[in-house]
Amino acid sequence: MKVSKVQAAENREGIVEAAARLYREKGLDGVGVAEITRDAGLTHGGLYRHFESKDALAREACLRAFDWTITPLDRLESSQAETSAPGTQRLRALVHAYLSANHRDHPGEGCPAAALAADAARAGPEMSEVFAQGVERNIQRFMHVLEGEEAARRTRTIVTLSSMVGALVLARATAAGNPALSEEILETLRAHLAPDAAQQPDEQ
């Protein structure tokens, strides 16, 4: 039976969404075409009607994964009242959401930088280019939370994002074997990157 253009577009979208989630959960080499299409409610052969290869799907899915919602960053950006809050308050909200047990335990719904960086580094220049685009997108989004001159905000963003990604990777790697250490890593980085107002020196 011939599939309409609308249905074909929906099928393609379903494949990309399923792949973006499954790759973050299991890694680029940890999930096959059959599992992706099954998750999207399609047959194995259906994938190759939409993508020239599994690698082409992986690149598009990786880029799609960078559309993830940086809770509560997107909410802060969309609300005038919350956006007018001090930059330190917005930064703290973002850091605490990123370095949370919930984010650690649900990689399929979270940051692809923490879930797929090692895989992307091994996947060749085309995937590296896609991943770099996604990382730059994260940097630009994060910079809007900070205050100050652009160059200083970019430097601080790169330092903070790199610290958060590394902490999340370590927290995930240790969660099953040493839960206390995993939580300590998250707590330590939360306190270091975005301490409570009571812990911060008074601003003049």
Give the tokens for residue 38. 């099954």
What pLDDT does 111 receive?
Answer: 94
- Quick one: 50 and 81 in the same domain? no
42 and 135 in a common domain: no
Q: Specify the pLDDT at position 84.
A: 46
Tell me, what amino acid is at 80? Q
Q: At what angle do helices 112-122 and 125-143 cross, to 10 degrees?
A: 150
Higher-scoring residue by pLDDT: 46, 25: 25
Residue 25, domain member (yes or no) = yes
Q: What digits encode the pLDDT tens for the residues 70-118?
A: 654 555 454 433 444 556 888 888 899 999 999 999 999 999 999 999 9
Q: Rounded to an integer, what distance in angstroms lies between the CA atom of residue 96 and that of residue 81? A: 20
Domain harbouring 41, CATH code: 1.10.10
> Which tops the pLDDT comparison, 91 or 61?
61
For 40-87, give the secondary structure using H, E and C: CCCCHHHHHHCCCCHHHHHHHHHHHHCCCCCCCHHHHHHCHHHHCCCH
DSSP letter string, the chain:
-PPPHHHHHHHHHHHHHHHHHHHHHH-TTS--HHHHHHHTT--GGGGGGT-SSHHHHHHHHHHHHTT---TTHHHHHH-HHHHTS-HHHHHHHHHHHHTSHHHHH-GGGS-HHHHHHHHHHHS-HHHHHHHHHHHHHHHHHHHTTS-S-HHHHHHHHHHHHHHHHHHHHHHHHHHTT-HHHHHHHHHHHHHHHS--GGGSPPP-
Would 123 be classed as within a structural domain? yes
In residues, how long is the chain? 204
pLDDT confidence bin for 201, thresholds 50/70/90: very low
Q: What average pLDDT does the chain have?
A: 86
| pTM score, whole prediction | 0.84
Shared domain check, 77 and 12 = no
Same structural domain, 15 and 103:
no
The arithmetic mean of pLDDT across residues 31-36, rounded, is: 91
pLDDT of res. 188: 98
Asked whether the predicted pLDDT for residue 51 surpasses 90, the reply is no
How does pLDDT run across 140-190, given as a tens digit for each residue? 988 988 889 999 999 999 999 999 999 999 999 999 999 999 999 999 999
pLDDT of 49 reads 78
User: What number of other Cβ atoms are within 10 A of residue 194's Cβ?
Assistant: 22
Total count of domains within the chain? 2
Task: Please tell me which residue, 42 or 125, carries the higher pLDDT value.
Answer: 125
pLDDT of residue 75: 52
Domain that holds residue 41: 5-54
For residue 197, the model assigns a pLDDT of 56
